[in-house]
């Protein structure tokens, strides 16, 4: 964790996501243990992560479609944006991303637009 460059915390569970190089880890805070959540292709570096949770995120069980992690990566010449669904265990749904968008510059921050 000392080499982590970006962090995102869950508002629902005692979990912290952090990135080192091309890997995103999930830290279970009460257990004090981290596990690999996702590994991007070699040569990509995670530059930003952000979690979006619904307005109901304080409930014990939150529908999976209401929790999303977005990640930006950089390969030295282009940025890529990924979206992951987050399960109730904190793992990424189906152990992979659900959307991928390419052709950006270096992504340094991510924000979500609230729908009304």
How many C-beta atoms surround the C-beta of residue 34 within 10 A? 17
What is the per-residue pLDDT across 44-97, written as a single tens digit (0 to 9) for each? 999 999 998 665 544 445 445 568 999 999 999 999 999 999 988 889 999 999
pLDDT of residue 55: 53
Beta strands 23-28; 15-20: pairing state: antiparallel
What is the pLDDT, as a whole number, of residue 7?
A: 95
Percent of the chain with pLDDT over 90: 68
**What pLDDT is attached to residue 67?**
83
Mapped onto helix, strand or coil, the DSSP state of residue 66 is helix
Q: Is the pTM of this model over 0.75?
A: yes
Number of residues that make up the chain:
116
Tokens of residue 11, six digits: 């508002």
Tokens of 29: 């805070």
- Mean pLDDT of all residues in 100-116: 88
């Amino acid at each position: 964790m000392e080499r982590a460059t970006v962090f995102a915390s869950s508002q629902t569970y005692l979990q912290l996501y952090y990135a080192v190089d091309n890997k995103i880890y999930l830290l279970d805070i009460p257990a004090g243990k981290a596990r690999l959540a996702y590994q991007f292709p070699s040569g990509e570096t995670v530059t930003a992560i952000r979690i979006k949770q619904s307005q109901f995120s304080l409930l014990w069980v939150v529908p999976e479609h209401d929790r999303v992690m977005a990640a930006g990566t950089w390969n030295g010449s282009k940025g890529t944006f990924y979206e992951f669904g987050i399960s109730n265990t904190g793992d990424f749904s189906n152990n992979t991303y659900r959307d991928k968008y390419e052709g950006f510059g270096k992504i340094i921050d991510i924000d979500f637009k609230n729908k009304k």
